[in-house]
Amino acid sequence: MAGTLPNFIGGRWETPAAETAEVHDPATQALLARVPLCGPAEVDAAVRAAASAFGDWRRTPATERVQFLFRLKVLLEAHRDDIARTITRECGKTLAESHGELQRAIENVEVACGIPTLMQGRNLEDIARGIDEHLIRQPLGVVGIIAPFNFPAMIPFWFLPYAIATGNSVVVKPSERVPATMQKLMALVQETGLPDGVVNLVNGGAAAVDALLDHPDVRAVSFVGSTPVARHVYSRGTAAGKRVQAQGGAKNPVVIMPDADPELTTAIVADSAFGCAGQRCLAASLLITVGSARERFLDALGEAAATRRVGYGLEDDTQMGPVITPASRVRIEGHIERAVASGARVLVDGRGQRLADYPHGNFIGPTLLDGVRPDDPLVGTEVFGPVLGLLHADSLETAIGLVNRGAYGNMACLFTESGAAARRFRHEVEAGNVGINIGVAAPMAFFPFSGWKESFFGDLHAQGSHALEFYTQTKVVVERWPREWSRTF
Ligand code: NAD
């Protein structure tokens, strides 16, 4: 029988007496584990453990702190297969996709290993005669990290390596829908020999999140999830005086110009829309064809959608796994039905997918909806499934107008051979991550993962230099040594 997953608090694995929820394999519905739905008591224990570890940890030299991250990188690489299989089992994505996300997690560890250089301040000697001024960066204290279901390894690692490298201590709350991956990652964190309490894990859902937001000893919160929850986290956390970065949902448009390379574009757009079963915050979900692009791409895209092999992520030939829960499948099919009722035409229909070998899986096939009107609710709604809505524009200018009408601003992409069109798009488009002939414009770990409008609440984003700034506070020291000064000069 599947057991209850423990928390990891103060260097000890503890199974709390909290109510539990079941975690199922989305392809088979097999019961994988029970996840405790912790509340204020467990969060308080974790925050206290983190707070008591903070003093020694912040005094540990940065050069020593990063040694644990070097060890973690080696351990993550050694356990790649096991972690990737765990991601696929609980999250549904293909094994190749799980390996891809784990690689992104490792890259963030690599960048955070550079903290002794990245965290340096600056100074100016003699801002006035005999007076020097220094800017130094110091850690904040206890930091909360709250993750969504769709990247159980990568997203916590947009934050965790930077937070601890800069000298903070951490409480991580993974998604209650995919909690097993973090168990594996935490066991490796423990194996590095990191001092007890520097990193803690509390399982749970909304109650654990609210307890972190309300806890007076939590100084900052990093959140990724849907827009309504991101807004809630940002307002409740900042009202309590915390520093908060909250990344939200998305509706990502892709514009294809008539001169775009047909084969490359089709393959890239199909992968963006249907990869990870459309459950990526950078999934293309609206396709805007400009001019004759519509005729050139429609059949090829239809073919790419219709031939994508849907199946169990652990099997070699699977190109697309299931969506996360039965409720997600019903919700996504509902969005398709409503779009059809308001006039969209289904070119490729993924509804009602039943696989003979996995009759209970949450499968839904790639879906292409043509003739979506700009004012259709689908255009402004995050479906978070393998559904691509097609719109048409007579010019690049009209297409950019359609992109910028959207409430979200996570990503926008353009496919073209024209440098001038690309430059205009890059300049005018209202999105934090922009792809030019790229379908999933995910910034590397050494760049911030941007996001605008309803896709982000806060100032500093995840990863890279933004993470460094988010997890540190600056102190400016103005310094004079009068007697020394007069003796020497
Ligand atoms: P979600 O908002 O349901 O959950 C995210 C986290 O918030 C989880 O840890 C969950 O336990 C917690 N939570 C859920 N409801 C809550 C509530 N009412 N109060 C407090 N906490 C609550 O998101 P999800 O379904 O797990 O993930 C998918 C969403 O995440 C999509 O909208 C996707 O676009 C978004 N996402 C965004 C990015 C980005 O970088 N912008 C990246 C990945 C995913």
Helix spans in 93-245 (H): 95-112, 115-118, 160-165, 180-191, 206-214, 227-239
Asked if residue 489 has pLDDT above 90, the reply is no
269 and 203 in one domain? no
The count of structural domains within the chain is: 2
294 and 158 in one domain? no
Pocket of ligand 1 (CB under 6 A): 146-151, 155, 173, 175-176, 205-206, 209-210, 224-226, 229, 232, 247-250, 281, 382, 384, 410, 449, 451, 455
What distance in angstroms lies between residue 281's CA and the mean position of ligand 1's atoms? Answer: 10
Question: Taking Cα atoms as reference points, which of 189, 153, 182 lies closest to residue 74?
Answer: 189
Which CATH number belongs to the domain containing residue 195 in this structure?
3.40.605.10
Q: How far apart (Å, rounded) are the C-alpha atoms in residues 459 and 174?
A: 23
Asked if residue 298 has pLDDT above 80, the reply is yes
What distance in angstroms lies between residue 273's CA and the mean position of ligand 1's atoms? Answer: 19
* Residue 58 domain-assigned (yes or no): yes
Helix spans in 192-325 (H): 206-214, 227-239, 262-274, 293-306
What distance in angstroms lies between residue 43's CA and the mean position of ligand 1's atoms? Answer: 19
Q: What is the pLDDT of residues 60-92, one digit of tens each?
A: 999 999 999 999 999 999 999 999 999 999 999
Question: Taking Cα atoms as reference points, which of 1, 120, 20, 107 lies closest to residue 63?
Answer: 120
DSSP 38-67: --HHHHHHHHHHHHHHHHHHHHS-HHHHHH
Asked if residue 487 has pLDDT above 80, the reply is no
Which CATH number belongs to the domain containing residue 333 in this structure?
3.40.309.10
Asked if residue 485 has pLDDT above 70, the reply is no
Helix axes 180-191, 80-91, angle to 10 degrees: 160
407 and 282 in one domain? yes
240 and 264 in one domain? no
336 and 411 in one domain? yes
CB 339 within 8 A of CB 106: no
266 and 170 in one domain? no
* Residue 483 domain-assigned (yes or no): no
Provide the pLDDT confidence category of residue 9 given band limits of 50, 70 and 90.
very high
Q: Would residue 281 show up in a list of annotated catalytic residues for this protein?
A: yes
CB proximity list for 437: less than 8 A, separation 6 or greater = 260, 261, 264, 265, 268, 414, 415, 416
ipTM above 0.95, yes or no: yes
Interior CA angle at 125 toward 119 and 130, to 5°? 140
* Residue 2 domain-assigned (yes or no): no
Q: What is the pLDDT of residues 124-137, one digit of tens each?
A: 999 999 999 999 99
* Residue 444 domain-assigned (yes or no): no
What distance in angstroms lies between residue 211's CA and the mean position of ligand 1's atoms? Answer: 16
306 and 196 in one domain? no
Q: Which residue owns the Cα nearest ligand 1 atom 16?
A: 206
pLDDT of residue 484: 65
Q: Which residues constitute the domain of residue 165?
A: 7-248+455-477
* Residue 446 domain-assigned (yes or no): no
271 and 224 in one domain? no
For 476, counting Cβ atoms within 10 Å of its Cβ (0-12 exposed, 13-18 middle, 19+ buried), the class is exposed
Helix (H, G, I), strand (E, B) or coil at 434: strand
342 and 324 in one domain? yes
* Residue 66 domain-assigned (yes or no): yes
Q: How far apart (Å, rounded) are the C-alpha atoms in residues 165 and 189?
A: 13
142 and 191 in one domain? yes
185 and 231 in one domain? yes
91, 276, 281, 413: the catalytic one is 281
42 and 84 in one domain? yes
* Residue 384 domain-assigned (yes or no): yes
Helix (H, G, I), strand (E, B) or coil at 78: helix
Q: How far apart (Å, rounded) are the C-alpha atoms in residues 43 and 221?
A: 13
* Residue 126 domain-assigned (yes or no): yes
Question: Which atom from ligand 1 is nearest to the alpha carbon of 227?
Answer: 32
Ligand 1 pocket test target in 97, 108, 229 with most atoms within 8 Å of CB: 229
